[in-house]
Amino acid sequence: MPMKGRFPIRRTLEYLQKGEIVFKSSVKIMTVNYNTHGEPSEGARKFVFFKIPQVQYKNPWVQIMMFKNMTPSPFLRFYLDDGEQVLVDVEGKDYKEITQHVKKILGKSDKVLQAEALAKMEASNPANFGPKKYFLRECISEVEGQVPHPGRVPLPKEMTGKYRTKLAASSED
């Protein structure tokens, strides 16, 4: 992607992955109401410009809507899955303050994020086997380079016990 436009670093994968805000699973919709001009909305404008792409990348299940010039004071509204609404006033706040506040009230804690990352790493470990519901593979025979599962692909004659027994019996005679 060419590095053109206003602040093109916002569109890089590295920048998007550095986002701090990962919402709890109960957050379904986020609306941002701000004005394009005026001092009270400066923090909200910068939040939309710098942080919303990161929030969208980290929370693909959350619908995000921006409303410009529809309100005298800027605010964020979150709609939760149980029908509850959370209103956050951002008038006169810096975008970093807004980020920290939103992360504190509706974001997952660092401990939860670390636990999820650890669980994801454990689940994706190719050495783990078990039911497909929990693991990537059910059997060692699904790994490339291993002997195929005898229930799906017949084994070569030389590897079967009956053949070896018959071969041993015929060599004794």
Check residue 1 and give its pLDDT.
Answer: 54
| Helix (H) or strand (E) segment spanning residue 76 | strand 75-80
The list of the chain residues with pLDDT below 50 reads none
Q: Could you give the 3-state DSSP secondary structure of residue 34?
A: strand
Given this model, what pLDDT does residue 157 score?
Answer: 83
Helix (H, G, I), strand (E, B) or coil at 135: coil
Q: Is the pTM of this model over 0.75?
A: no
% of residues, the chain, pLDDT over 70: 98
In one-letter notation, the amino acid at residue 86 is: V
Across the beta sheet with 75-80, what order do the strands follow?
A: 63-68, 27-34, 75-80, 85-89
Predicted confidence at residue 63, as pLDDT, reads 97
Q: Mention every residue, 6+ apart, whose C-beta is less than 8 A from residue 88.
A: 75, 76, 77, 78, 98, 101, 102, 105
For residue 143, the model assigns a pLDDT of 81
Distance CA 91, CA 14 (A): 30
Q: Which residues fall within 8 angstroms of residue 154, CB to CB, at 6 or more apart?
A: none
Smallest CA-to-CA distance from 20 within 106, 123, 119 is with: 106
| 89 contacts: CB under 8 Å, gap ≥ 6 | 73, 74, 75
